[in-house]
Structure 1
Amino acid sequence: MSKTIILIGGSYGIGAAIASRLKENHNVIIASRSNDNIPEGVTHHTFDVLKDDISELDLPETIDGLVYCPGSINLKPFKMMSPETFNEDMELNFNSLVRVIHGLLPKLKNSEQASLVFFSTVAVKIGMPFHTSVAAAKGAIEGFAKALAAEYAPNFRVNVIAPSLTDTSLASKLLNSDAKKEKMAERHPLKKVGTTEDIAAMATFLLSDESKWITGQVFGVDGGLSTLNTN
């Protein structure tokens, strides 16, 4: 069954990979600042999550799927991060997500059962140095998602994907040489860094009817890092 699915900030990386997987069988809409990398057949609306009101966009009256892609990787020692840095990460990762859902709520309610997919990080489950700000912001998403899933069941399904390091432009500074990629791959039991397709495959599944009995879950798509010790 064809669905209407909106991706917030889906122009690059994981979002673009999800759009490419869905566009053949679904009405896919991307709302993002840039339209440089929009897959053919996908509708684009210019939208900045930090400034714009999603309810002002000309969107279909029914939305069956929502994927919120904006995020940050702000890795520094805690003593080098000001409270303003924490506020900025929370604004992009969490507060803007809340505003988007508020703005789309009537259209999501029109769906027979809307599926919402958010992104966290492996660093919420396992403490990692230099991750205080991003782990705090993504941890808020995990708690929010479970509460939202409970409140809106059975009308909405809400799930979270918690990746480990994935080879995207956002992580380019961490993976900008073969030596760095090899070092990062070795940290994971599956001895590889994640790809956009690894994450997009899980997101596509969670948006589909194949996952219709799954809600309120956090899925670690992380090469085994969060649960396995193979050293």
Structure 2
Amino acid sequence: MLALSFRNREDKEADITEKRTLGKTGGKNLFREMAEGLVTAIVVALLLKTFIIQAFRIPSGSMIPTLDVGDQILVAKLAYGIRDPFGDHYWIHFSGPRRGDVVVFRYPKDESKDFIKRVIGLPGDHIQVRGKKVFVNGTPLSENYVQYLQPFVTDEPTRDVMKEVVVPAGSYFVMGDNRDDSYDSRYWGFVRENKILGKAEIIYWSWNNVSHRVRFSRIGRKIR
């Protein structure tokens, strides 16, 4: 009986020890699974950001009314091809931007900054501004997305009047929709295609910095 009692106690102790061991092993497995899941999520997020889609926030009003301050947008990085993430060339090039596309690009004067504007002139186009009106190859451009806040003045030669320029090969002429308050190709020139990061597609969030409220009416709006 005494031996049996000891065996029962040993069995119980063994059960407790085994459960503790299982508990430790299970904890390690759980921690490893969580770590692997976190690493996988980070890798997927980096791949998405690098090759497929990237989120940006609009900090200025140069694209009003299409994009307002506080809008957060998704940019399709595969819109024009698959880019080398460490360089400025395309591994696979689909097509160039079209006139009217809203694109994000590296600012030519300081490539650490990203700008967003609308494509107005394609390679080879003749672009001119007369009395605020944009002419492409001698024809007035129809622009139902443009906002003008100030009257035409003759002493604004860059903003309201611009001599004809020819867009070089592999480059684009871009302008903001808030035409009187946009620092764009009228002032600093053309954007090389290999500096374009992608095409703006949709507003996924919008926050009014003045009223501190969500602008629900803008969420989900496609960028055209």
Shared topology, TM-score over 0.5? no
Larger radius of gyration: 2
Q: TM-score, normalised by structure 1?
A: 0.24
Q: TM-score, normalised by structure 2?
A: 0.24
Tell me which protein shows more helix as a share of its residues.
Answer: 1
